[in-house]
Amino acid sequence: MKKGVSFFSFDMDVDLLDASKKAAQAGYEGVELVLSEAGSLNMSTSDKALYGLRVGIEDLGLAVCSVGAWNLWEYNLAGNDVSAGAHAQDIVKKQIDCAQALGADAILVVPGWVGTNFAPGITSYDQAYDNAQRRLAQLAPYAKAAGVHIGVENVWNKFLLSPLELKRFLDEIDSPFVGAYFDVGNIIYIGYPDQWIRILGQKHIKRIHFSDARESQAGLGMFVDLLAGDVDFGAVMAALRDIGYDDWITVEFLPNYKQFPYQAITNAKLSLDTILSIK
């Protein structure tokens, strides 16, 4: 499995090449870049700028493993607002364009929300299901044409709350270019990551995030450094091997290191090495 680090772990205006240099020094093989409305990688970033960014990252010996998007928390892909939904689709298209230009074959997509305390509005669950599924199905041909897989992430959105439901959601879209971007830490409050991995299987899982969390905590305070929480990484590794997953493992953590933010990269890499050595 290849080792990557997500730039969701930093502020959206992080210097991408500086962070990539730190990732290379720590021994990662790839980085997950993150799109935003006004950050370093944004909706107006040109093809020329993307090419320069790719060259700079590849000169460090790294690959771009995937592309996420901060701004999908501003525009609800599952909401009833037609304008916001259309802009959310435009964000996903820009992610796909960026991924293709940067040499990545997957993007991380927040599928919208029924409700959450950090994004506006509440949508009826059944309407959210239909809206998100329809919009993702419409995006599937665009993803296929670019050779980029859409990975729907399990997030704190009161939506797609079981592995059976997410599997059904993806089966109904019925595109090999729309799958799951599974985060093992995000699921701790409602389930067991090894069960989700086996149920979704290799057919649906496009990418994996490694994060860790404590069940006894609530909100963002539950997320901790790898191996400091309640994720059973032995069970996770067994499940990944059982389904034959052998692609990117991308670590994600909160920006808790206020004085030396890049120290988290090194610490997470050491923990990642330990986890991937589990037999």
Higher per-residue pLDDT: 192 or 117: 192
DSSP 76-110: -TTSS-HHHHHHHHHHHHHHHHHHHHHT--EEEE-
Q: How confident is the model at residue 254 (pLDDT cuts 50, 70, 90)?
A: confident
User: How far, CA to CA in Å, does 239 sit from each of 37, 82, 234?
Assistant: 37, 39, 9
Say yes or no to pLDDT of 104 above 80.
yes
Q: What is the pLDDT of residue 261?
A: 82
Q: pLDDT at position 255, please?
A: 81
Please give the Cα distance from 228 to 143 (Å, whole number): 37
Region 68-81 average pLDDT:
97
Q: Is the pLDDT of residue 229 over 90?
A: yes
Q: Which two tokens stand for residue 24?
A: 């290379």
258 has a pLDDT exceeding 80: no
**What pLDDT score was predicted for residue 80?**
98
Portion of the chain with pLDDT greater than 90, in percent:
91
What pLDDT score was predicted for residue 135? Answer: 98
pLDDT at site 256: 78
pLDDT band at 140 (very low <50, low <70, confident <90, very high): very high
**Which pTM was predicted?**
0.97
Q: What fold is seen in the domain 2-276? A: TIM Barrel (3.20.20)
Is it the case that residue 133 has pLDDT exceeding 90?
yes
Block residue for tokens 């069940």: 215
> What mean pLDDT is predicted for residues 264-273?
96
CA atoms within 13 A on the CB side of 86: 3
How many CB atoms are located within 10 Å of the residue 172 CB? 10
